[in-house]
Copies of this chain bind each other. A is one copy, B any other.
Amino acid sequence: MGTVSTDWLHAPHIYVENTRGDDPSYEVTIEDVLRNLPSFCRPAELTCRYSDERNMESLRRADILIAGKLDTLLISSEAKSLKIIQCTSAGVEKYAPFEWLNPSVAFTNASGVHAEKVGEFALMATLMLHANVPAITTKQRHHRWSRVLRSTSAGCRVLIYGVGALGGAVAERLHSAGFHITGIRRSGKPVAAVELMMTPDHFHECLPFADVLILACPLTSATCGLVGAGELAALPAGASVLNIARGGVIDHSALRRALESGHLSGAILDVFEEEPLPANSELWDIPNLMIFPHVSADAPEGYVDRCLKILSENLTRAKTGRPLRNVVDRQFGY
């Protein structure tokens, strides 16, 4: 895992699968692939199909599969020539556990393609939380003018859970804007934008010092239900929460109680266990909670190119015997 043999690299069979009805910004075309392949790589075959019109023979021959959604059963039973699966989504938690995946196949995700957009979104959302915009918005619903002045964000302390591609981009952008960042990551490895980096076992110690808690981790067995009533209670009064990870990371009932009691000043959620969020969800009307329709990370322009650049870089790495990047870790699931 992480390296592949190189003999097939100069003339690979490439299979692209799109999903009919998806946003066209995420559709990978033959031109997209050709534009982004490294110059040494001239495909022997390049097939581009929707999932409802598969060319099974081409899929069986494919060395490289590029797809946003994976039919893992089909892949494991039919696509036996694969060396690389480039998923054009960053989150691949729905494909875990990875028994379906032949250990010789490099399964790479699109982690990192969202950096610029998610950094900007998180900056906006954190400024909004600091400025009490969720409460101001709730008051607007009730025609209530309530002038509570807020200082600038200069002293605002942000705790980011998950400082990978997503959280790292968030940290950089917030650090540049003057926020003080504490980070939690599995490795505990420091990064420049984060003043204090801790490992997950220190999460609870960090909570009392977080004015804004940002969830930016993948959804795994370790992060499912990470933030419940106890964690929210450990935040200082008036703190706020931003979730750009996955809906399952936070207990929404506990969040509701913390918002209704006034312990939390506000929250912004961009991700939900069921998306689109159903019209009858109770989340829509919780006071001081703003609902975003999963828009924090995806910028349509250039998305496909950014994904294919990961594949292209990996083909070059494979050719020169270096380990691939963006390989999904079978144990940790991202």
Which residues of A approach B to under 8 Å, CB–CB?
Answer: 23, 25, 116-117, 120-121, 123-124, 127-128, 131, 133, 136-137, 139-141, 143-154, 275-277, 279-281, 284, 290-295, 298-301
Once the chains bind, are B281 and A143 in contact (CB under 8 Å)? yes
CB nearest neighbor in B for A277: B145
Contacts of A277 in B (CB 8 A): 145
How near does chain B come to A176, taking the closest CB pair, in angstroms? 9
Contacts of A281 in B (CB 8 A): 143
A116-B152, A145-B293, A151-B300 given. 8 additional CB < 8 A pairs? Answer: A117-B152, A120-B152, A127-B127, A128-B133, A140-B290, A141-B141, A147-B295, A152-B299
Once the chains bind, are A299 and B145 in contact (CB under 8 Å)? no
Contacts of A301 in B (CB 8 A): 151
A127-B124, A152-B299, A300-B149 known; A292-B136 Cβ under 8 A: yes
Contacts of A153 in B (CB 8 A): 120
Contacts of A147 in B (CB 8 A): 276, 293-295
Contacts of A120 in B (CB 8 A): 127, 152-153
Contacts of A293 in B (CB 8 A): 136, 139, 145-148
